[in-house]
């Protein structure tokens, strides 16, 4: 299997994009809205935890990756805060949908920036063997985090 860390991450990125699009199409006062938000919340958290451990941390160890990694971590923190705010609000309110739109915008921006810039820079830092090793570690941790978060 020629899987590498970037291919593994893109799978989750596609799921995040899809969940954001679906969430924005939901109607107030529906179980679907709450279910999709919960699924997106868990997906974002599991992905971020595993990505930070198995891509950002190794890239932080290289001088070329320090600033881009910090920027990406900051964007993860922004998403976390927005999700937390959304959890405290009524999903049927107009204000909640405004927050959902903001979250979707941040998620889409982050994923695009990561795929177009961060992955290219990281690809120059990591060896092919390391990319494959990190993919396996990421996938294991991502699956573990999904399980932990779903059971919480």
pTM across the whole model: 0.95
46 and 145 Cβ atoms separated by less than 8 Å: yes
Q: At 121, which CATH number?
A: 1.20.120.520
End-to-end CA distance of the chain: 33
**61: Cβ–Cβ under 8 A, 6 or more apart, which residues?**
none
Query: Considering its fold, how many domains does the chain have in total?
Result: 1
DSSP, residue by residue, 28-53: TT-HHHHHHHHHHHHHHHHHHHHHII
Query: pLDDT tens digit string along 32-60?
Result: 999 999 999 999 999 999 999 999 999 99
Range of the domain at 79: 5-151
Tell me, what's the pLDDT at 2?
Answer: 62
Are 119 and 72 a contacting pair, CB within 8 Å?
A: no
Q: Read off the pLDDT of residues 96-133 as tens digits, 9 standing for 90 and up.
A: 999 999 999 999 999 999 999 999 999 999 999 999 99
Provide the pLDDT for residue 29: 86
pLDDT at position 1, please? 47
81 is written with which tokens? 């805060």
Q: How far apart are CA 116 and CA 137, in angstroms?
A: 23
**Cα angle at 54 between 52 and 59, to 5 degrees?**
80
């Amino acid at each position: 299997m020629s899987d590498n860390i970037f291919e593994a991450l893109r799978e989750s990125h596609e799921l995040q994009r899809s969940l954001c699009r679906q969430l924005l199409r939901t109607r107030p006062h529906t179980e679907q809205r709450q279910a999709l938000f919960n699924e997106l919340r868990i997906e974002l958290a599991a992905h971020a935890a595993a990505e930070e451990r198995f891509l950002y941390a190794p890239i932080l160890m290289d001088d070329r990756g320090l600033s881009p990694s910090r920027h990406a971590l900051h964007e993860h923190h922004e998403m976390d805060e927005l999700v937390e705010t959304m959890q405290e609000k009524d999903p049927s309110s107009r204000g909640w949908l405004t927050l959902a739109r903001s979250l979707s915008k941040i998620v889409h921006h982050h994923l695009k920036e990561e795929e177009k810039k961060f992955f290219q820079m990281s690809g120059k830092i990591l060896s092919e063997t390391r990319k494959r090793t990190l993919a396996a570690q990421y996938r294991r941790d991502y699956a573990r985090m999904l399980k932990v978060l779903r059971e919480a």
